[in-house]
Amino acid sequence: MGCGASKWSDPGVVRQRGLSSVGEVVVFLPGLRVPRTIDLSQQLGGSSTANLLQALEEYLPALLGLVEEECCMTGLQETSMADPWYEVLSVLHLMAMVCFLQANTLLLPRSYGDGHGPRVSEESRQSTVDLFLKAAGYLDCAVHHVLIHIPPERRRELPVDLAQGNLKALSLQGLGQGVDMQLGLAIENPKATLAVKRRLACEMIKCWKQAAAYYFHGLILDEGETEKSQETAMAALQSSEEFINESKRASEAFHSAPPTSRSPSAFGTTKYLLDMIPKDAKSKFQSYQDLNTQKGALNIGVSKITATPPPLPDFPFALNPEDYELPHSDPLQKGANHG
């Protein structure tokens, strides 16, 4: 990516090799795709990422002016090795990754000098929702409005992080982490009902987190008074515990894989679920044992209940990628090329 033509084999992309550690990672993102003439090896954060995003937004109209001119010259016969739409795709991808990078910076715990220790503020978490939706919007635009200009045979030659499947996965990640932030804020809000929390958790199923959905679903089922509802609640809480343990193992494997990274302190939704799921699952299991013992039923001991987890409610996904349309091409750029 850059003012010069981008080669399909991407020789100008700066890739960091041999890194032993990349610091704390809250938001996963692949490496930034940057011109070889620009050194972004230093960590970006704060206003520098905002400036980079603004520069990319200002660069895109000029780039589209070049795209239009080349399309007129070539008649859109074939995508060349120095493809202008590949350049646009790279810019949109980088804009989305900058948003993820900004969100990662906001979600790292920091000290506020108030004696309460490092934490992630509510304001920071609220800000990341907008960043996640903006990133999803850039990626959604790339999939639906840029990839269509690249012939299918050429799409198969794209770098893996620009492949359609990966662009869609990253867009879904943005939506999922946006819902995650909303759920975390709802958990800390005493006015948020259990039904609201379950709805958000069930929406996250469409992205990744079954643990949260089964946990809140189990709590609601536990409000029922019948023996069947109690058994179903126990099965749901047991499933949530299994999923949270699986999530912990996956997180440990991710952070220990090279290049290693430090797992940040748990906060928000993650901290709440890590604390509450084992406690509530154990409490419910003990209550279930006591109830069966009182009824003279066989003591089920310490073994897990093997009931099938109940089906989860299917709520429509409330969040959507932020609408983003490609800007109009820069007329000054077009005029300069014809001058």
Q: Which amino acid is at 125?
A: R
pLDDT, position 261: 80
Q: Which residues contact 156 (CB under 8 A, 6 or more apart)?
A: none
Beta-bridge partner residues of 21:
260
Q: What pLDDT, in 10s, does the model give residues 195-217?
A: 999 999 888 887 766 778 888 88
CA angle, residues 267, 41, 65, in degrees to nearest 5: 100
Angle, helix 227-256 to helix 210-221, in steps of 10 degrees:
160
Record the tokens describing residue 154, joined without a space: 């050429």
Point out the residues of the chain with pLDDT beneath 70. Answer: 1-23, 31-44, 46-47, 70-82, 208-209, 294-307, 331-339
Q: What pLDDT, in 10s, does the model give residues 74-93?
A: 554 444 445 788 889 999 99
Specify whether the backbone of 210 is left (phi greater than 0), alpha (psi in -120 to 50) or beta: alpha
Q: DSSP string of 251-315?
A: HHHHHHSSSEEEPPPP-HHHHHHHHHHHHHHHHHHHHHHHHHHHTTPPP-TTSPP-PPPPPPP-P
Record the tokens describing residue 60, joined without a space: 């895109």
pLDDT, position 80: 43
